[in-house]
């Protein structure tokens, strides 16, 4: 059962609307949709909580920078007494076209530095990820600028639909289970 949803991003106003903050955007969407209240500052994270069928479900926005996300996630797991298999990490993915969503379990980081750091800190790849396609820049050397820039006005409507779909994926994961969530999320029509 998914008990902790972690949206990856960078703290601060400067990064708020950037592609790299895809995970934060989904958590922000869920705080509004589920009427989540700020629960506490814990483990280098803003933490929110919702009770679902008698079980506490936590939502976190690590306040470390993206490349150090594993520190926050490791502390959250220890403090909340959860296993890696009980987390769903939401992050941007350059390898998926803009608007595509995929839930997967385990595997490599795909070059995503936040996921890479989580794998390093936890010592395992065995956790769920909700990958949000942000597309890829034309030039490889432009990757850093690309992920740290906002979506274009033309991309914005598709991105907003992606955030809503990702929110629905999370809701299904915590209410119906990970398999129904995967079936919904991995279907990109």
> Is there a binding annotation on residue 65?
yes
Going from the C-alpha of 132 to that of each of 15, 79, 93, 110, 175, the distances in angstroms are 17, 27, 5, 12, 21
* Residue found under tokens 């800190």: 121
pTM, rounded to two decimals:
0.95
* pLDDT value at residue 148: 93
Overall average pLDDT of the 26-44 stretch: 90
Q: Of 20, 29, 46, 91, which is the active-site residue?
A: 20
Local structure of residue 151 (DSSP, 8 states): P
86 or 141, which is more confident: 86
Model confidence at 139, pLDDT cuts 50, 70, 90, reads: confident
25 or 36, which is more confident: 25
Percent of the chain surpassing pLDDT 70: 99
Q: Which of 103, 148, 145 is nearest to 128 (CA)?
A: 103
Active site residue 46: no
Give yes or no for residue 127 having a pLDDT over 90: yes
Q: Which residues of 164-188 are buried (b: 16+ CB within 10 A; e: fewer)?
A: ebbbbbbbbbbeeebeebbebbeee
Summarised one tens digit per residue, pLDDT across range 60-78 is 999 999 999 999 999 999 9
Q: Which of 116, 144, 147, 122 is nearest to 134 (CA)?
A: 147
Give yes or no for residue 189 having a pLDDT over 70: no
CATH number, domain 4-185:
3.40.50.1470
State the sign of the Cα–Cα–Cα–Cα dihedral 121, 122, 124, 126: negative
Could you tell me whether strands 87-93 and 128-133 are parallel, antiparallel, or unpaired per DSSP bridges?
parallel
Enumerate long-range contacts of 145-153, CB under 8 Å, 24 or more apart.
146/19, 146/94, 147/18, 147/19, 147/20, 147/92, 147/94, 148/15, 148/18, 148/19, 148/20, 149/18, 149/19, 150/17, 150/18, 150/19, 151/17, 151/19
Domain ranges across the chain: 4-185
Model confidence at 120, pLDDT cuts 50, 70, 90, reads: very high
Overall average pLDDT of the 40-64 stretch: 92
> Is there a binding annotation on residue 15?
yes
Summarised one tens digit per residue, pLDDT across range 75-89 is 999 999 999 999 999
Give yes or no for residue 23 having a pLDDT over 70: yes
Q: Report the chain's mean pLDDT, rounded to a whole number.
A: 94
């Amino acid at each position: 059962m998914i008990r902790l949803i972690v949206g990856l991003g960078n703290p601060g106003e400067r990064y708020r609307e950037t592609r790299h903050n895809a995970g934060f955007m989904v958590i922000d969407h869920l705080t509004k949709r589920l009427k989540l209240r700020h629960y506490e500052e814990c483990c280098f994270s803003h933490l929110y909580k919702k009770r679902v069928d008698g079980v506490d479900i936590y939502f976190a926005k690590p306040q470390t920078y993206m490349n150090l996300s594993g520190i926050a996630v490791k502390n959250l797991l220890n403090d909340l007494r959860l296993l890696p298999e009980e987390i769903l990490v939401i992050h941007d993915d350059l390898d998926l076209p803009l608007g595509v969503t995929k839930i997967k379990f385990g595997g490599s980081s795909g070059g995503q530095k936040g996921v890479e750091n989580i794998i390093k800190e936890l010592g395992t790849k065995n956790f769920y990820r909700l990958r949000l396609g942000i597309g890829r820049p034309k030039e490889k050397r432009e990757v850093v600028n690309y992920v740290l820039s906002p979506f274009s006005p033309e991309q914005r409507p598709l991105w907003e639909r992606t955030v809503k779909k990702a929110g629905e994926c999370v809701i299904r994961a915590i209410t119906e289970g990970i398999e129904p969530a995967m079936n919904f999320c991995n279907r990109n029509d």
